[in-house]
A and B are shown apart, each in its own frame.
Chain A
Amino acid sequence: MRGSGVKLLGALLVIGGAAALGHLEAVRREKRARELAAVITALELLESHVVYGQVLLADALRRVGEAQPGAGWAFLRAAERLEEGWPASRALRESFSAWAARSALLESDLAPLVHLAPVLGLSEGGDQARHLRWARSQLEVKLAGARQRLPEVARLCRALGVCGGLILALLLY
């Protein structure tokens, strides 16, 4: 009697754990799409400050950071590094890497931003606009991929978690 109770508890734990894993994966995918969209908006705002506002890069990054919750963290950090006297390329690379560790983005998602780092701020406005638009277009492709059938995929992840947990529990039982 006592042994079957423990087994039941173990099965519930396995099912619960697998369901949680499925849920977390679904949340990560949803978060990735949201973050990609936020970075694209941030780059649009940055282009506006840089190309039209002619705002110094550190101030432009700060304004973008303050206007964009989430993705703005990386821009605020880059602004701080620039104000400390770091070269722009190092400040941006370091900030995006630090943000990657706490975001749902994949390493490949950050590639356009990493490519942007050595050129941002170091040429005239028209050239800056081209670099920023290129990075945005790359991120838009990734966002389109991430959003493709996102609700179905998220539901599938959750369902697979629960089903996987059930199958594992049955096999162990």
Chain B
Amino acid sequence: MEKTMSLHPLQILLLEKIPPRLRHLLLPVFEAAGDRVQEIRICQDKPILVQTAAGELYVSPAGPTDRLEEAVIADAGTVKELLDAVTSSSVYALQDAMKEGYVPLPGGHRVGLCGEARTEGGRVAGFRHVTGFNIRLNRDLSGVARPVLRRLVRPDGGIWSTLVVSPPGAGKTTLLRDLIRTLSRGAPEYGLKPQRVGVADERGELAGAFRGVAQNDLGPRADVIDRCPKRFALAMLVRTMSPDVVVTDEIGHPEDAEAALDAVTAGVALVCSAHGATLADVKRRPSLRPLLEHEVFQRVVVLSKREGPGTVERVVPCGGAA
């Protein structure tokens, strides 16, 4: 691939995966916007849009532009080519992910899908026609957990059970990912000993696994169970991998909370996330109630987008541990 020296290796992986016609259109955008590219939206008969940290851009044959009239419109051929490329011409092998509305890519990127869904028994069984894509770039940021780490380390070198609370897009997955990496490696400067970390990655966002292989660096002691319901993955991890800590993303169902509670009662620290702007929001959610009632968490980290994604609003000690 030409002229990619200035790009991040994860961006190069993405560009290698998409069809040549789109690659030539997007390469100048990546060269101009660099690591700020967050999402690329490609929908049939609509202009190709790139979301960056600085705002939205259209894609023109001459490069990025903010003028709609110069924007390239994605035609049916482009959409078919892209579907062919992102699924490696193997839609049948990606049905489980496609039922969830996305396709995983190498490098931990993921492609959200739109179009005509097909249902069976009231549940989404796949897509009859895919007509739109939202390519979400994996940005594996290292060091974002450092500002909160000192408050999360126990005196014995382990970690307090921690809940990360954040509204969508405020960086909780990025923080969890960096926490896993740091826990797995250890951070002597913060008194943190290396931990065996079990990762229940139901949505595949923490490890960014592609065909079972983690694409994100999660350190040497992270064991990942990918795309498995949390309630099963947490139990399997505790039973078979003897973790010091288990990490999972959004606890959304009471069964997930019960499995997390089982893990904690087995003597394993728990780090997980929940959607919400404040701790009060989270306390109102029935799915988290068992964990909060049992005072599972000793620390709560609240994130916001006030100064950009990943702004740490506060780290709250709770559950009797100060």
A120 at the binding interface (Cβ < 8 Å)? yes
Please give, as numbers and ranges, the residues of chain A lying within 8 Å of B90 by CB-CB distance.
55-58, 121
Interface residues of B in 94-153 (CB under 8 A from A): 95, 125-126
Contact A58 B92 (CB under 8 A): no
A124 to chain B, nearest CB (A): 5
Given A50, A122, A127, A128, which contacts B84 in the complex, CB threshold below 8 Å? A122
Judging by beta carbons under 8 Å apart, are B95 and A57 in contact?
no
Residues in chain B near residue A122, CB distance under 8 A: 83-84, 87, 89, 91
Is A51 interfacial (CB 8 A cutoff)? yes
| Residue from A51, A54, A57, A125 in contact with B89 in the complex, judged by beta carbons closer than 8 Å | A57
A125 B88 Cβ-Cβ under 8 A: no
Q: Do residues A51 and B92 form an inter-chain contact, with CB atoms below 8 A?
A: yes
Interfacial chain A residues near B321, Cβ < 8 Å = none
The majority secondary structure among interface residues of chain B is: helix
Chain B count of residues within 8 A CB distance of the other chain: 16
A10 within 8 A of B: no
Determine whether the beta carbon of A123 is less than 8 Å from that of B85: no
A157 within 8 A of B: no
Q: Which residues 65-124 of A sit at the B interface, judged by CB distance below 8 A?
A: 82, 85, 87-89, 120-124
Measured between C-beta atoms, what is the minimum distance from A90 to chain B in Å? 9
Partner among B81, B89, B91, B95 whose Cβ is within 8 Å of the Cβ of A82: B89
Chain B residues with Cβ below 8 Å from A88 are: 84, 89
Contact partner of B92 (CB less than 8 A), chosen from A82, A85, A87, A125, is A125
Rounded to whole Å, the gap between the CB of B104 and the closest CB of chain A is 13
Hey, which chain B residues are within 8 Å of A128, CB to CB? 92
Closest to B211 in A: A56
By a CB distance below 8 angstroms, the chain A residues around B20 are 85
Asked if B85 and A85 make an inter-chain contact with CB atoms under 8 angstroms apart, the answer reads yes
A62 to chain B: closest CB distance in Å? Answer: 13
CA of A36 to CA of B126 in the docked complex: distance in angstroms?
A: 34
CA–CA, A58 and B93, complex, Å? 12
Given that A57-B89, A57-B90, A120-B89 are known contacts, is A125 also in contact with B84, CB under 8 Å in the complex?
no
Residues of B within 8 A of A120 (CB): 89
Considering the complex, give the chain B residue whose CB is closest to the CB of A90.
B84
Q: State whether A87 touches B89 (Cβ < 8 A).
A: yes
Q: Is the CB of B91 within 8 A of A58?
A: no
| Given known A124-B95, A124-B126, A125-B95, contact A58–B88 (CB-CB < 8 A) | yes
Contacts of A123 in B (CB 8 A): 91-92
Query: Which residues of A sit under 8 angstroms from B85, Cβ to Cβ?
Result: 85, 87
- B95 and A121: CB pair below 8 A? no
Q: How far is the CB of B261 from chain A (nearest CB, A)?
A: 34
Residues of B within 8 A of A50 (CB): 92-93
Contact A121 B91 (CB under 8 A): yes
B88 touches A56 (CB 8 A): yes
| A57 touching B126 in the complex, CB below 8 Å, given contacts A124-B95, A125-B95 | no
Contact flags B200-226 to A (C-beta < 8 A → 1, else 0): 000000000000000000000000000
Interface residue ranges of B1-42 to A (CB < 8 Å): 19-20
B92: chain A residues at CB < 8 Å are: 50-51, 54, 121, 123-125, 127-128
Within 8 A of B (CB), among A107-157: 120-125, 127-128
Q: With A54-B93, A55-B93, A128-B92 known to touch, is A87 a contact of B126 (CB < 8 Å)?
A: no
CA distance A58 to B84 in the complex (A): 12
Shortest distance from the beta carbon of A53 to any chain B beta carbon, whole Å: 9
- Measured CB to CB, the nearest residue on chain B to A121 is B89
Of B85, B91, B93, B126, which is in contact with the most chain A CB atoms at under 10 Å from its CB? B93
> In this complex, what residue of A is CB-closest to B96?
A54
In the bound complex, how far is the Cα of B211 from the Cα of A54, in angstroms? Answer: 12
Min CB distance A9 to B, Å, is 59
Q: List 25 A-B contacts (CB under 8 A).
A: A54-B92, A55-B90, A56-B88, A58-B88, A58-B89, A82-B88, A85-B19, A85-B85, A87-B19, A87-B81, A87-B89, A88-B89, A120-B89, A121-B87, A121-B89, A121-B92, A122-B84, A122-B87, A122-B91, A123-B92, A124-B92, A124-B126, A125-B92, A125-B95, A128-B92
Enumerate the 3 nearest inter-chain pairs by beta-carbon distance, A residue then B residue, closest first: A88-B89, A121-B89, A125-B92
A85-B19, A124-B91 are known contacts; what are 11 more A-B pairs with Cβ within 8 Å? A55-B90, A56-B88, A57-B88, A82-B89, A87-B85, A121-B88, A121-B92, A122-B83, A122-B91, A124-B92, A128-B92
